């Protein structure tokens, strides 16, 4: 397995589950190429340590995005010593193109099956996100082409970073031709975007393993609270939603949990308004503490203005007995449709989010039956379901 880190949530959580499944199966010999020093102490597995270009300081960082010679050597050593039949990639960007070069050379010489799990849009978007940060809007101008749009439009909102990403992605594209045998997408939405960029690739949808157990008694002791937990940033759009929430008269409390570049702006908004219907916990909470803090909420809101891929938070919210209210784009809308419960709204409309929340509040009692029925679909997101799909792809 090739994964930059196993520390964190989201993509790292999926990679951890993937590794644990392999270690549990006695008929697999496993080695991991990673940039995560802590992995050696966490898992009894052969471990090869590479460098993360993002941790390079000074002018050398620009060159590191193009390649790290030590990573080429370490990848080649890992592959020659371990001689894998299957190579599974998660979060490959931090290794730089050097890792892909060594991987392609090994496959051409020795033959192996290469599987790539997509957690972001890096494979099809020069800016990794299908989002222009300088213009604060979704962007699909150069999907799958890695042309100079990122430089002209300054999609990274930093000219030097935009240039570095352009150079990096074009270097990586040299090694991706015919490299990956199976692409894994956690959503139908991302699968469609991948095929839009390259109709010739094979893409399998495998839902993320984010449900360890289906929570019992999830509708007991519910309170009139709507919760958001995650990154406090422009693309998550929670500051704008908080402003909308202040304008509606409804007996609900808004609880916001997280941190990020717009956290100070949110704190200033709440302090300046002398407003007590919004509570802000300015830090990320570990899973157990988070669940205990939010489990009594009736609603979960995700007002993102970018294409969320397959947001785990929506699935966690349904598992905890919350009705999700999300933007009507990307993987958010897909999950609302899949579960058959919740509400969507246009995130660019200045009032629609809060008005949709008001509708959800008024319809809560009649929506509880749909919520209970939706929870029967959580088994698609269990570790057991993920394991079956992954092991089938390894055959």
For the residues 67-89, what does the mean pLDDT come to?
96
Look at residue 216 and tell me whether its pLDDT is greater than 90: no
For the residues 107-118, what does the mean pLDDT come to?
96
Q: What are the two backbone dihedrals, phi and then psi, of residue 237, each rounded to the nearest 5 degrees? A: 70, 20
For the residues 367-375, what does the mean pLDDT come to?
92
How much is the pTM?
A: 0.91
Structure tokens at 364: 């809560």
- Domains annotated for the chain, with CATH where assigned, are 2-210+383-394 (3.40.50.2000), 223-379 (3.40.50.2000)
Look at residue 292 and tell me whether its pLDDT is greater than 80: yes
- Cα separation, 238 vs 231, in Å, equals 9
Look at residue 87 and tell me whether its pLDDT is greater than 70: yes
For the residues 97-118, what does the mean pLDDT come to?
96
For the residues 219-230, what does the mean pLDDT come to?
94
Alpha carbon 231 to its chain's center: 12
In this structure, are residues 165 and 171 in contact, taking their beta carbons and an 8 Å threshold?
A: no
Instruction: Express each pLDDT in 147-204 by its tens digit.
Output: 999 999 999 999 999 999 999 999 999 898 889 999 999 999 999 999 999 999 999 9
For the residues 295-314, what does the mean pLDDT come to?
95
Residues 6+ apart with CB under 8 A from 150: 126, 127, 142, 156, 162, 165, 166
In this structure, are residues 121 and 130 in contact, taking their beta carbons and an 8 Å threshold?
A: yes
Confidence at 374, pLDDT banded by 50, 70, 90: very high
Residues 6+ apart with CB under 8 A from 38: 6, 7
Q: What are the two backbone dihedrals, phi and then psi, of residue 254, each rounded to the nearest 5 degrees? A: -105, 120
For the residues 110-129, what does the mean pLDDT come to?
94
- Reduced to 3 states, what is the DSSP secondary structure of residue 241? helix
Instruction: Give the residue with greater pLDDT, 255 vs 58.
Output: 255
Q: Considering only CA atoms, which of 57, 56, 61, 39 is closest in space to residue 48?
A: 39
Q: Considering only CA atoms, which of 277, 300, 279, 293 is closest in space to residue 364?
A: 300
- Cα separation, 4 vs 2, in Å, equals 7
The confidence score (pLDDT) of residue 274 equals 65
The confidence score (pLDDT) of residue 165 equals 93
Rg (CA), the chain: 22
Structure tokens at 36: 């995560």
Which residue in the block uniquely carries the two structure tokens 């993360």?
52
Instruction: Give the residue with greater pLDDT, 114 vs 271.
Output: 114
CA angle 25–28–34, rounded 5-degree value:
105
Confidence at 336, pLDDT banded by 50, 70, 90: very high
How is 363-391 classified by DSSP, letter by letter?
A: THHHHHHHHHHHGGGGGGGBHHHHHHHHH
Q: What are the two backbone dihedrals, phi and then psi, of residue 240, each rounded to the nearest 5 degrees? A: -65, -40
From the number of C-beta atoms within 10 Å of its C-beta (0-12, 13-18, 19+), residue 58 rates as exposed
Residue count of the chain, please give it: 395
Look at residue 128 and tell me whether its pLDDT is greater than 70: yes
Structure tokens at 205: 């949808």
- Cα separation, 308 vs 142, in Å, equals 19
In this structure, are residues 277 and 251 in contact, taking their beta carbons and an 8 Å threshold?
A: no
For the residues 1-16, what does the mean pLDDT come to?
86
Look at residue 58 and tell me whether its pLDDT is greater than 90: no
For the residues 85-99, what does the mean pLDDT come to?
94
CA atoms within 13 A on the CB side of 210: 22
CA angle 58–62–63, rounded 5-degree value:
105
In percent, how much of the chain has pLDDT > 90? Answer: 77
For the residues 39-66, what does the mean pLDDT come to?
86
Structure tokens at 184: 């894994």
Look at residue 273 and tell me whether its pLDDT is greater than 80: no
Work out the mean pLDDT of the chain and round it to a whole number.
92
Look at residue 253 and tell me whether its pLDDT is greater than 90: yes
- Signed CA dihedral, 291, 128, 93, 1: sign only: positive
How is 349-364 classified by DSSP, letter by letter?
A: STTHHHHHHHHHHHTH
- Reduced to 3 states, what is the DSSP secondary structure of residue 265? helix
For the residues 2-9, what does the mean pLDDT come to?
85
CA distances for 322 relative to 80, 354, 391, angstroms: 50, 17, 32
For the residues 311-321, what does the mean pLDDT come to?
94
Q: Are strands 2-3 and 253-259 parallel, antiparallel or unpaired?
A: unpaired
Confidence at 377, pLDDT banded by 50, 70, 90: very high
The confidence score (pLDDT) of residue 149 equals 95
The confidence score (pLDDT) of residue 86 equals 96
């Amino acid at each position: 397995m090739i994964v930059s880190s196993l520390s964190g949530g989201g993509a790292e959580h999926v990679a951890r589950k993937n590794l644990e499944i392999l270690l549990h199966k006695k008929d697999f010999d496993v080695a991991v190429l990673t940039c995560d020093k802590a992995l050696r102490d966490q898992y009894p597995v052969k471990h090869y340590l590479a460098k993360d270009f993002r941790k390079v300081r000074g002018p050398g960082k620009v060159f590191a995005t193009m390649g790290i010679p030590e990573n080429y050597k370490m990848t080649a050593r890992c592959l020659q010593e371990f001689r894998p039949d299957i190579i599974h990639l998660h979060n490959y960007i931090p290794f730089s193109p050097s890792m892909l070069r060594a991987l392609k050379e090994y496959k051409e010489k020795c033959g192996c099956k290469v599987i790539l799990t997509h957690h972001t849009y890096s494979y099809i978007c020069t800016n990794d996100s299908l989002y222009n940060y300088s213009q604060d809007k979704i962007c699909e101008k150069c999907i799958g082409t890695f042309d100079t749009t990122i430089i002209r439009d300054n999609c990274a909102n930093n000219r030097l970073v935009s240039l570095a990403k352009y150079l990096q992605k074009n270097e990586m594209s040299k090694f991706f031709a015919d490299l990956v045998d199976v692409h894994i997408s956690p959503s139908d939405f991302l699968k469609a975007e991948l095929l839009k960029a390259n109709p010739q690739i094979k893409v399998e949808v495998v839902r993320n393993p984010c449900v360890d157990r289906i929570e019992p008694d999830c509708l007991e002791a519910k309170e009139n609270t709507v919760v958001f937990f995650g990154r406090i940033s422009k693309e998550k759009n929670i500051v704008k939603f908080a402003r909308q929430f202040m304008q509606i008269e409804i007996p609900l409390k808004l609880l916001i949990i997280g941190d990020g570049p717009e956290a100070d702006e949110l704190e200033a908004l709440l302090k300046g308004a002398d407003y007590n219907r919004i509570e802000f916990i300015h830090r990320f909470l570990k899973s157990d503490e988070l669940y205990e803090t939010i489990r009594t909420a009736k609603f979960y809101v995700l007002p993102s203005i970018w294409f969320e891929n397959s947001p785990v938070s929506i699935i966690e919210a349904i598992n905890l007995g919350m009705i999700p209210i999300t933007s009507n784009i990307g993987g958010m809308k897909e999950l609302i449709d899949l579960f058959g419960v919740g509400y969507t709204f246009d995130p660019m409309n200045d009032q629609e989010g809060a008005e949709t929340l008001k509708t959800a509040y008024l319809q809560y009692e009649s929506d509880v039956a749909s919520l209970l029925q939706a929870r029967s679909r959580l088994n698609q997101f269990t570790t057991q379901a993920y394991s079956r799909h992954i092991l089938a792809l390894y055959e």
